[in-house]
Structure 1
């Protein structure tokens, strides 16, 4: 599926950095947010749409709906897929979404998590999910913005 340009893990989902910098960098014309909570929350969707250029379409799907329909997308839809956490990414990959590369941008620190970079914190379940994605052949890079050098997240966990 050549039109799935990049998948990003960012617990903020769509925000200014994604809406401007990343969309332009990957050349997307469609941003798909795959998240069960946001897929049914019009207020959150409207807030995220506010930071997107008018020329870029957005879709908000549950994890299962994304699995069911993403491969039916038109070749003209150049997709930037965003998920909130590594577990959603693993569910998509395990469900058949042809993810071959994941950009890890932001996973907030919370109690019980270890900070492995300035913007990414993980616990043992997160580490296990990253290792499983690696076993499934997914390239994993940690990079906040396109101009930053990328790091192999597996070397940090």
Structure 2
């Protein structure tokens, strides 16, 4: 049976930091990208698969509901998976769909008007904060904000105080 060793929300999906430092620190053997636009775009999908193949890790690009189906059908085989989505909302649906996730890392959500910057690389709104609090309180997920393993980790509790 496989497991998710790290779930990460990052609008960039796979990039150098994920491929090197995060995969090593998490002990990953596979990276699964759950993103409908990427799954339906052969060009983007092939770029991600090509980038991943150079790491020695198994890389899969799944539809968002496919990440849940693959877990329910095969428990991610024997892979230690980094599960990547572009949004908090998609990750929440995957968790609510039954994929067991202990740790959720928010590492790359760009700043836009109306968002609160939690760390330099991650900005969220109140609705997204409420989703994260729900994941913590009702699904037992440890939520934290951290761009790369060597940078400071900000807890969900610290982020909540930013909205008071």
TM-score by length of 1: 0.91
Deviation at 1:2, TM superposition (A): 5.7
Deviation at 1:37, TM superposition (A): 1.3
**Other structure's SS at 1:21 match:** helix
C-alpha deviations, 1:78-132, integer Å up to 9, x for none?
2111111111111011111111110111111112212121011111221111111
Equivalent position of 1:12 in the other structure: 12
TM-score by length of 2: 0.87
The unaligned stretches of length 5 or more in structure 1 are none
Paired residues in the alignment total 156
Q: How does 1:4-153 map to 2 (within 5 A)?
A: 4-52=4-52, 53-71=54-72, 72=74, 73-75=76-78, 77-135=79-137, 136-153=139-156
| RMSD of Structure 2 on Structure 1 (CA) | 1.6
* Matches of 1:154 and 1:34, distance apart in 2: 27
The answer to whether the 8 A contact 1:130-1:154 is kept is no
**Other structure's SS at 1:37 match:** helix
**Other structure's SS at 1:148 match:** coil
